């Protein structure tokens, strides 16, 4: 898949959100598009509180309720993925045109590492073929202790 600039992706996801909101009969509010743009510029995993602080630091005045509601819509629209890693609060990340990847979480510092595995993709593809099953999404999470935390032990 060709690499796309952040600006190109933001234009595409904005159009996708616009179409989704029309299709579902939701209002096209400026706040929803601002949140979407900020998520795609942020480009990291985030929880609601961290992202809310990020918005406040950028002098973007959006209520936490609006943020929660918009995140729900963005997840429904397939533009953001919501993860629940262990006992921690939900984490979100942009999902449009991003490579398939899995996660490893440090149980000490909670840092999230992303990795891609061709072998894992082969296993998924084999399962799909053998079971006439289309995998639309998957979660593969490893839990352990990162190098930095091991060095502190």
pLDDT, tens only, 119-147? 988 999 999 999 999 887 777 888 899 99
**Structurally, how many domains does the chain consist of?**
2
Q: Could you tell me if residue 39 is left (phi over 0), alpha (psi between -120 and 50 degrees) or otherwise beta? A: alpha
More confident: 47 or 117: 47
Confidence of residue 105 (pLDDT cuts 50, 70, 90): confident
Residue 73 sits in the same domain as residue 118:
no
What are the backbone dihedrals phi and psi of residue 28, each rounded to the nearest 5 degrees, phi first? -95, 85
Q: Which of 81, 6, 4, 8 is nearest to 46 (CA)?
A: 81
CA distance 95 to 103: 14
CATH code (residue 138):
3.30.1490.190
Residue 28 sits in the same domain as residue 79:
yes
Report the chain's mean pLDDT, rounded to a whole number: 88
Cα–Cα distances in Å, from 68 out to 13, 42, 96, 116? 19, 17, 19, 29
Question: Helices 30-42 and 64-76 meet at what angle, rounded to 10?
Answer: 70
Residue 29 sits in the same domain as residue 67:
yes
Q: Range of 151's domain?
A: 99-153
Residue 3 sits in the same domain as residue 47:
yes
Question: Which pLDDT score is estimated for 71?
Answer: 97
Q: What is the pLDDT of residues 43-80, one digit of tens each?
A: 788 999 999 999 999 999 999 999 999 999 999 998 99
Residue 72 sits in the same domain as residue 142:
no
Question: Which pLDDT score is estimated for 2?
Answer: 42
Question: Which pLDDT score is estimated for 147?
Answer: 94
Asked if residues 31 and 62 have their Cβ atoms less than 8 Å apart, the reply is yes
CA distance 18 to 20: 6
Q: What is the pLDDT of residues 80-97, one digit of tens each?
A: 989 887 677 888 988 876
Q: What is the pTM of this model?
A: 0.74
């Amino acid at each position: 898949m060709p690499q796309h600039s952040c600006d190109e992706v933001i234009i595409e996801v904005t159009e996708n959100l616009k179409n989704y909101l029309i299709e579902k009969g939701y209002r096209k509010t400026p706040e929803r598009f601002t949140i979407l743009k900020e998520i795609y510029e942020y480009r990291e995993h985030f929880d609601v509180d961290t992202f809310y602080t990020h918005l406040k630091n950028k002098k973007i005045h959006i209520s936490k309720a609006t943020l929660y509601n918009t995140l729900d819509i963005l997840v429904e629209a397939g533009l953001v993925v919501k993860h629940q890693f262990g006992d921690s609060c939900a984490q979100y990340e942009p999902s449009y045109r991003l490579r398939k990847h899995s996660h490893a979480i440090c149980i000490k510092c909670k840092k999230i590492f992303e990795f891609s595995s061709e072998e894992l993709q082969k296993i998924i593809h084999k399962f799909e073929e053998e079971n006439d099953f289309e995998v639309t999404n998957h979660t593969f999470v490893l839990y352990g202790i990162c190098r930095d935390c091991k060095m502190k032990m």
